[in-house]
Structure 1
Amino acid sequence: MAGPGAGLRAVHMAFNWLTVLPLPQPRTAPDRAAGAGAIAAAPVVGLALGGAVAGLAAALVHTDLPAIAVGTLMVAALALTTRGMHLDGLADTVDGLGCYGSPKRAREVMRSGSVGPFGAAALTMILLVQVVLFAALATDHRWVAIAAAVTVSRCAVVAACRTGLQPIPGGFGALVVGTQRAAIVGWGLAALFAGLLVSDQWWRGPAAVALVAGWTWLITRHCARRFEGINGDVLGFVVETSCAAALLVLVA
């Protein structure tokens, strides 16, 4: 059984991979065991990021900035602290889904490094949704809901790496996809519990968690068929779209 040291190493790896924090690099090259631990700890990173952006919002609402500027700065802070990699994954995945051709051709489009029209449109829409809805939550002083939306989106990554899905060889996905089983249940229950705390309307939080869970399950199955596997770009796509989905329910 893994001890507390292994858990701390997993959290360290998760922050190392998923944020810009200047943490020491691991001494050895990560393998799938390390990847499994890091993905299982991804919701901890989400909680930290969500708490930080909620704190930023709490400070900004006491200024004369318009609500839309507050929302924009919240989204910008998340992008900066995560190197923008989830946004990059969103654009690459949508470009891959939008192209014609074989799964090999779709993967080539995803690896091209440029943003096509589908990816640009997806980035614009998702960022606009996030900016407006984060601004609405900040205006209403719903700090727990802000933190919950970010956290639940990182819980979605655990589900996107569940056993039964195959990774695309090479890259980040090969280290983490197909590694999660028990962690899905634990983090799913934690997300549901957190969801119950985010609103006076008891159903809103669980509905957000349910929507994210259903969306993650369906879209990763589709991506696995279309690309013949899951890679890191798909995981970034899941993070950004899940955050937007959670916000939609929490604000609606």
Structure 2
Amino acid sequence: MARLPIRVTGGAAAVGAGLRFAFGTLSVLPVRVTRWDRPTAGRAMLAAPLVGLVLGLLAAGLGAGLSELGAGPLLAAVTSVAALAALTRGLHLDGLADVADGLGSNKPPAAALKIMKASDIGPFGVLVLVLVLFAQVAALAQAFAVGPHLGGFGVLVAAVTGRGALLRGCTAGTPSARPDGLGATVAGTVPASRALSAGLVTLTALGTGAWCVGGGGAGGLRLAVGALLALASGLICAAVLLTHCVRRFGGITGDVLGAMVETASTAALVLWVLFAGS
């Protein structure tokens, strides 16, 4: 079902409501959502990369701390991935599994959406979850093996890129597959110009952060390029998934958005480790 574009405007109170919506729906942080409407949802999705930054810092700090204490790169990687899952109640992983089952069923849109809404996880969902989690852990373990700071920043890149994918998933013109639910609330709420601006801010922040982690100079430039390519690859993979889901289901759902987050995060980690893990 198509939605009219939402103009995201408002003062400090409106911005605050959007931030509460973002952190209240995308994390387990104790934030009370005070408004649940489409304009607020648009502001919340614009703030999604900020949520990724906060969650990424928490998970990266835990993983890097364990690595510094000598826990080993594999344990640091597993802990970081588990922390991100815990900080989101496994919401995005659940969406990934549901979308995998819906797409794997090869059924018409209505039947596929019904499968996705079921509480159980089918064989396609289990297989995709296992492969994605293994890929994330393997990439992070390689980065942590080089240094705690590189592994920790990889966690941050993955978390921010994953939530940045929500900007594309909720851009104006993106339809909702259902008339209700989270997908219907956020679909089409982010003006394309605002999504582009938020994306550029995210890109600049990650590139600058990677340059600092690399100590500046040639090493910093190499990591900055790696971070930017990781962000770009993650967003491209998520966009491909979005296009396929809109074609198959008729629009987005909350599960599709969750699958986009995990897809973008995984692709970003794979690219990051090529620069940081060698």
The superposition leaves residues 161-211 of structure 1 with CA deviations (integer Å, 9 ceiling, x where unpaired) of 111210122110010011112331112112321342325314322211221
Task: Give the structure 1 partner of residue 270 of structure 2.
Answer: 248
Aligned to 2:251: 229
Residue 46 of structure 1 and its aligned partner are, at CA, apart by 0.4
1:128 alignment partner in structure 2: 134
User: What's 1:24 paired with?
Assistant: 32
Amino acid at match of 1:152: T
Q: CA deviation at 1:53?
A: 1.2
Structure 1 gaps of 5+ residues are none
**Which residue does the alignment assign to 2:5?**
none
Residue 188 of structure 2 corresponds to 178
Among all aligned residue pairs of Structure 1 and Structure 2, give the percentage whose two residues are the same amino acid.
37
The more displaced of 5-14 and 131-140 is 131-140
Which of these residues, 19, 22, 33, is aligned with residue 11 of structure 1?
19
Q: How does 1:1-252 map to 2 (within 5 A)?
A: 1-26=9-34, 30-139=36-145, 140=147, 141-142=149-150, 143-168=152-177, 169-181=179-191, 182-197=193-208, 198=210, 200=219, 201=222, 202-252=224-274
Query: How big is the shift at 1:160?
Result: 0.9
Q: How many residues align?
A: 250
1:157 positional shift: 0.8
Give 1:156's aligned amino acid.
A
Length-normalised TM-score, structure 1: 0.93
**Is the CA contact (8 Å cut-off) linking 1:11 and 1:44 kept in structure 2?**
no
Which residue identity lines up with residue 161 of structure 1 in the other structure?
A: C
CA distance in 2, matches of 1:106, 1:155: 26
The letter of the residue matching 1:172 is L
Q: Supply the AA of the counterpart residue of 1:192.
A: L
**Higher mean Cα deviation, 231-240 or 162-171?**
162-171
What SS class does the counterpart of residue 238 from structure 1 fall into? helix
Maintained 8 Å contact 1:155/1:188: yes
Distance 1:31 1:81 in 2: 24
Assess if the C-alpha contact under 8 Å between 1:194 and 1:205 holds in 2: no
Cα deviation, residue 227, structure 1? 0.5
Q: Which amino acid aligns with 1:90?
A: L
CA pair 164-25 structure 1, distance change in 2 beyond 3 A: closer
- 1:229 counterpart SS class: coil
Say if 1:137 and 1:146, in contact at 8 Å, map to a contact too: no
Q: Kindly report structure 1 stretches of 4+ aligned residues shifted beyond 6 Å.
A: none
Q: What code does the residue aligned with 1:194 have?
A: A
Q: How high is the TM-score relative to the length of structure 2?
A: 0.85
Contact 2:174 2:188 in 1 (8 A): yes
Deviation track 1:105-149 (CA, whole Å, cap 9, x = no partner) reads 110110111111111010001111111222233332213333122
CA RMSD of aligned residues (A): 1.6
Letter in 1 for 2:58: A
Q: Per the alignment, in what secondary structure is the counterpart of residue 179 of structure 1? A: coil
**Could you list the runs of 5+ residues in structure 2 that have no partner in the other structure?**
1-8
